Amino acid sequence: MENRSFYNEILTEHNVRPEFKHDLPDADIVLEGVNPSCGDDIFLKLKTDGDTITDGAFVGDGCAISQASADIMLGMIVGKKKEEALRMGKIFMKMIKGDASEEEIDSLEEASALRDIAHMPARVKCAVLGWRTLKEALLGEDADDDDDEDEE
């Protein structure tokens, strides 16, 4: 139970005091992500320099899980190459599906706080909204839940 409490603290902190929830007027990539099943709606905004994500932010509304997950994600990907950000997203999706190894989950650092979402199907789309929007923004394709299967 100690771990669960720690994870809840991480999610609460990112929801109450999000570091990356603000406008980023000079973003060169902007994409709306919507979860129609519950109404979560974010605009992911990224600033890039070549292949590196130099800054990022999001604006919009949604549940605590979608907002915390987007904030945690941005904290992980700012300063990283696009390829690395996509790799992290792939591991995050594996974790949410319950298919990630402990080593992979540990590599997600604070994002591992969302590991129990795999057991709450109604909240999965909330947790992955930011990550799916990131993938679509960087690859320019629809980021379906099952499209990672053949990329191993």
Res 145: pLDDT: 45
pLDDT band at 6 (very low <50, low <70, confident <90, very high): low
25-81 pLDDT per residue, tens: 999 999 999 998 889 999 999 999 999 999 999 999 999 999 999 999 999 999 999
Six-digit token string for 91: 């591991």
Burial of 128 (0-12, 13-18, 19+ CB in 10 A): buried
Six-digit token string for 47: 């600033």
Res 142: pLDDT: 62
Six-digit token string for 14: 């990112």
d(CA 46, CA 136): 12
Residue 21 near residue 32 (C-beta atoms within 8 A) = no
Stated pTM of the model: 0.88
9-18 pLDDT per residue, tens: 898 999 999 9
Residue in this structure with the two tokens 């696009």, named with its chain if needed: 82
